[in-house]
């Protein structure tokens, strides 16, 4: 991959350059010292991946991410001195389309780089996602005993946090519904994502634990690097298989388990995201009588996942996020 580096600290930029150049089939295509320069360079020479710092003069990394995804969209990985210390900005950047975040490796006095393993692993994962997101032709829009609660299941990836907040905030609080969210996010950031969503929606949002059963009023977020599934007994469980699926947690794996084991139809939503995860699982739910909604292209940060679902005939409706709550409520008794 052609990888760009955005960082105003010379030592940090050099550490990133050394990590990239140590990886086979990857090279640095350009370096920017702040967000303004990064936006301009991305428009002139769009890379496959940008390693984006957060705290920079003039334009910070979150705002630079927003501008780049609006004008020259590409994969963006936040690389900052301390992810935990900048968690609000991290989720702002992810809401605008950044895929993930990792701490910046450190360049030692002898030229050695420490803390490079986590970054190298993230780059490897994103390279697989980019490879799985090759363009496809524009699709045609698809045609449109009581076991509480009803389920709303949501899958999301690139740009998902903001779309999730915009979806959840207007939904009724007083209905017999549990919400389960599969967002492509590293295990280290799942608790922060749950808190970020709670702060922006006014709801209680928590990371799902192994053995949890979706209950009335729950908003549960998948929270490990394994896949989350709904088991035959109605509990949520984490499992490593299928290992060959590199989107973790996988929307397809979860949606298909719901189609197999949940005894009552509900609503499934597939939001903005890179790749094709979720299309197969959403189709399985539609065939079981679920109402399925895919995000439209104009409001998606990256339209690959919803587009794949539409192409597969998995979506009953294609809507902007702002119209989804009104479309969801009648199907769940709200």
Name 116's Cβ contacts closer than 8 Å, sequence gap at least 6: 15, 18, 19, 22, 105
Q: Which of 184, 227, 250, 304 is catalytic?
A: 184
Is there a cis peptide before residue 149, judged by omega within 30 degrees of 0? yes
Annotate 44-113 with DSSP letters as a single string.
HS--SEEEE-SS-SSS-HHHHHHHHHHHS--EEEEEES-TGGGHHHHHHHHHHT--EEEEPPEE-TTS-E
The first and second tokens of residue 114, run together, are: 């420490």
Report the C-alpha gap between 95 and 66 in whole angstroms: 9
184 part of the active site: yes
Torsion (CA) 305, 311, 313, 318 in degrees, nearest 10: 60
Please tell me which residue in 26, 34, 100, 157 is annotated as part of the active site. 157
Q: What single-letter DSSP state applies at residue 202?
A: S
Residues annotated as part of the active site: 157, 184, 277
């Amino acid at each position: 991959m052609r990888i760009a580096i955005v960082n105003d600290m010379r030592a940090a930029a050099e550490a990133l350059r050394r990590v990239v150049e140590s990886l086979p089939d990857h090279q640095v295509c350009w370096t920017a010292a702040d967000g303004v320069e990064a936006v301009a360079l991305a428009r002139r020479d769009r890379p496959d991946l940008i390693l984006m710092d957060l705290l920079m003069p003039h334009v910070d990394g979150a705002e630079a991410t927003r501008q780049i995804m609006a004008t020259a969209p590409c994969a963006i990985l936040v690389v900052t001195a301390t992810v935990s210390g900048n968690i609000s900005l991290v989720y702002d950047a992810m809401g605008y389309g950044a895929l993930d975040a990792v701490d910046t490796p450190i360049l030692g006095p002898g030229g050695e780089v420490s803390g490079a393993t986590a970054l190298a692993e993230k780059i490897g994962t994103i390279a697989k996602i980019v490879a799985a997101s090759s363009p496809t032709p524009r699709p045609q829009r698809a045609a449109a005993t009581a076991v509480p609660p009803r389920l709303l299941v949501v899958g999301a990836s690139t740009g998902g946090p903001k779309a999730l907040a915009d979806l959840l905030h207007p939904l009724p609080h007083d209905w017999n519904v549990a919400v389960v969210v599969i967002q492509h996010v590293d295990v280290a950031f799942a608790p922060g994502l749950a808190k970020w969503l709670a702060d922006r929606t006014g709801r209680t949002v928590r990371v799902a634990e192994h053995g949890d059963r979706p209950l009335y009023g729950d908003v549960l977020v998948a929270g490990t690097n394994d896949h989350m599934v709904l088991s035959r007994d109605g509990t949520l469980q984490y499992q490593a298989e299928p290992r060959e699926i590199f989107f973790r947690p996988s929307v397809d794996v979860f949606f298909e388990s719901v189609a197999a084991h949940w005894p009552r139809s509900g609503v499934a939503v597939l939001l903005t995201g890179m790749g094709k995860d979720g299309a197969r699982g959403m189709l399985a739910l539609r065939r079981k009588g679920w109402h399925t909604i895919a995000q439209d292209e104009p409001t998606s940060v990256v339209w690959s996942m919803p587009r794949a679902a539409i192409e597969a005939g998995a979506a009953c409706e294609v809507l902007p996020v702002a119209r989804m709550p009104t479309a969801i409520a009648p199907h769940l008794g709200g």
